[in-house]
Chain A
Amino acid sequence: MKKTILLLLILSTFVFANINVVVSYPFIGALTAKIGGDNVNVETLAKGSWDPHFVVPRPSLIRKVAQADLLIINGAQLEIGWMPPLINKSSNARIQPGSKGFLDLSHSLTLINKPSSVSRSGGDIHPDGNPHFSTDPYLIPILAKSIANRLTLLDPTNRDVYTQNYQTFITHWDTKLEAWAKQMKPLEGTKVVQYHELYNYFLKRFHLISVGNIEPLPGISPSSRHTLTLITQMNEDKVSYILQDVYHNPKTAKFLQGKTSAKMLRLPHDVNAVHEADSLEHLYDTIVNELTR
């Protein structure tokens, strides 16, 4: 009996030695694993291949949040439809918003496309601005810094480890950024349409021009009237690519491809959205390769 208790104690100290980090999306998980290294256990709540706005709040996710020491979210209201009940039902005091164990990554960035007026007649809009900053590889270092700082705050004894991991990551990432910029250079000024304004950060970074969306309003399914207007506009603007995400039905995008000279590309928006995008690095490799093929 005594032995069992002792074993349990040892086991529990072993488990508690690591910081349990729970993150909303796979790209945050991949980044946290790079910075935290062996000192963190990372659990990801959302699937990379599904719509980030509509994550299913399964009870198993409540259990994961309940055991977190740190909860890292994308923020900018991307999780508004599914995260609040998980936090509430987890009864976990450590990760309540405003506490040390809660990190909203959008707070470390300046968001683009912040609407000047807010009304739901304009669709299911994000009032704080476009939350899909994960598509811009240049913003990753800022997020990495934010994560490193928070891990240090929670676990000051391993400060040097996090700093070292951050440095190693940044050095490597800078060479990748240069390579992607070089690959994307010839595409400057290329015109595209998207299903949802999912790639705006990427397009702005590499100077591509988005001339329209397949959905008539954010979060509203395509309508035939809107699609017909879009065809006229795409032909007038000589649009080269239709950027289709992996989770919406590509029916309308395929139809547009047939009616215009634009080519449909199914692009990942997150790690594991497609098979090739199995790491943070490969996520941007895949997007860039698809566009420059």
Chain B
Amino acid sequence: MSKSSIFKSLTLGTLILPVLLMAQDSSYTSYSSSFNQSAFIPDIALIVDMSYTNRNVKDSEQENLSLLGNAYPDYVEFNSNNGFNLNYAELTLHSDVDQLFVLDGVFHFNTEGVEIEEAYFTTRALPLNFKIKGGKFKSDFGRINSQHQHVWDFADAPLVYTSFLSAEGINNIGLQAQWLAPTPWYMMAGIELFQSGNGTSFSNESFTAINNQEVEAATAPNLVVAYLKNSIDIDDTTLILGINVATGANKSEANQFDGSSTVYDIDFTSKSYFDSYSYLTFQTEVMYRDMDGDNLNSLPSIQDAYNQAGLYAQLVYAYDQNWRTGIRYDTIFKDTLNDTDNNTPLNRYTVMAEYNPSEFTRLRAQYSHSDAFLEQGEITPRNIDEFILELNIAIGSHGAHSF
């Protein structure tokens, strides 16, 4: 290395060094913002739901209880333990993908792990008011199925939902097409095709039955959901009427059943607003389930036809932005096996009161009394009293209010 080149590198060094030092100064970091992508971060929200629960059933006794052949523990997806519960931390991501699609992801974190609650695309540019959704998503069957727990008016889902559609409702992998009719009133028709359901009515599994019979799963996708929803306004009252049907294979190891199910549902809502914040809502859904197939508990298997029906009816009154209260009546009033009625109505009564100090925090107290769940081997339902104090808090992007 010649003298001049040493001199050159020294001069270069003295020139570069201050530049490097300046680059470390925060006021001189313009190059980092040239490629800053923070403007493209999707809308993010985190919703945490927790509760203090007290019921007159010990946690250990729960597994001995069931309703219509379905185990009680499956009903209590949330608030399942006496004492403190962390029901979930729900992480949602939402953003436009490009000019054609929107992408949504909803993840449920709980102490046991993470679940993809929903992950789906939606079209944004189809003509004639058509919309296609695909991925894992909650079906728009009925009034409540598509709602997440934190949007419910009560801490738990109605009995008809958990009994006929499972604790998660119809939430599976599939495709949905919806069309808004150009009618003077609101009319929306939709059809959905799912891989299968989530147990209770629409399991689809291959298994060896108790009677050693081999059951083959039906070719998937095999669950079809269709609905027609209508709505009109009369002054400040909105009426909604929906007709819904879900039909698919039912091959369930838990229920030792090989056949198919169809669930029919009619939902009706009347919501009257008194001002911007105060309203009274009456909401009801009647559900009817028709199950046909083989009962595999015995050899040879028995051809069974189950018909079950139930409903819920609820009244919710919002006094103002901060206070809300509601009552709900739940019942399964028909349970027929091969034309023989074998049950008296199974009922549940629920009351709740809510305090919302802001749009992002909700404290709810709920009490319910049910005589719907049977202990194994018993014929009279067990009386269950349950008290839930639930806290729901949200941060991040502003969740829009759905109707």
Contact = CB atoms under 8 A, between A and B. Distances in A.
Interface of A: 50-51, 54, 56-60, 62-63, 66-67, 77, 80-85, 88-93, 96, 98, 120, 123-124, 219-221, 247, 249
Interface string B162-186: 0000000000000000111011011
Contact of B400 (A51, A57, A66, A96): A57
A57 B320 CA distance: 17
Contact of B185 (A56, A63, A92): A63
A56 B188 CA distance: 19
Given A59-B231, A124-B359, A66 B238 contact: no
B277 A51 contact: yes
B401 A57 contact: yes
Contacts of A247: 275-276
Contacts, number: 94
A7 B77 CA distance: 57
B178 A91 contact: yes
Given A54-B276, A91-B180, A221-B322, A60 B232 contact: yes
B131 interface: yes
Interface in B32-70: none
A221 B180 contact: no
A204 B136 CA distance: 51
Contact of A80 (B126, B231, B400): B400
B233 A81 contact: no
Given A66-B129, A80-B398, A96-B124, A59 B358 contact: no
8 contacts: A67-B182, A81-B359, A91-B123, A91-B130, A93-B126, A93-B127, A120-B360, A221-B322
A58 B395 CA distance: 25
A137 B102 CA distance: 38
Interface residues of B, number: 42
B358 A220 contact: yes
A90 B128 CA distance: 10
Interface of B: 99, 102, 122-127, 129-131, 178-180, 182-183, 185-186, 188, 229, 231-233, 238, 240, 273, 275-277, 320-322, 357-360, 395, 398, 400-403
A84 B45 CA distance: 15
B207 to A, nearest CB: 40
A96 B102 CA distance: 11
Contact of A59 (B99, B360, B403): B403
A54 B320 CA distance: 12
What are the 3 closest A-B residue pairs judged by CB atoms, nearest first? A59-B231, A51-B276, A91-B131
Given A50-B276, A85-B400, A124-B359, A59 B127 contact: no
Contacts of A56: 238, 273, 403
Contacts of B398: 77, 80-81
A60 B358 contact: no
A123 B276 CA distance: 19
A92 B179 CA distance: 11
A85 B233 CA distance: 18
A63 B180 contact: yes
Task: Tell me which of B178, B180, B322 has the highest count of chain A C-beta atoms within 10 A of its own C-beta.
Answer: B180
Contacts of A96: 124-125
A82 B401 CA distance: 6
Contact of B395 (A88, A120, A219): A120
A85 B321 CA distance: 20
A57 B403 CA distance: 6
A247 B240 CA distance: 26
B240 A59 contact: yes
B126 A91 contact: yes
Contacts of B322: 221
Contacts of B182: 66-67
B275 A82 contact: no
Contacts of B403: 56-59, 85
Contacts of A92: 129
Nearest to B394: A120
Contacts of B276: 50-51, 54, 247
Given A83-B400, A88-B122, 11 more contacts: A50-B275, A54-B276, A56-B403, A57-B400, A59-B229, A60-B231, A62-B186, A85-B403, A93-B126, A96-B124, A120-B358
B233 A221 contact: no
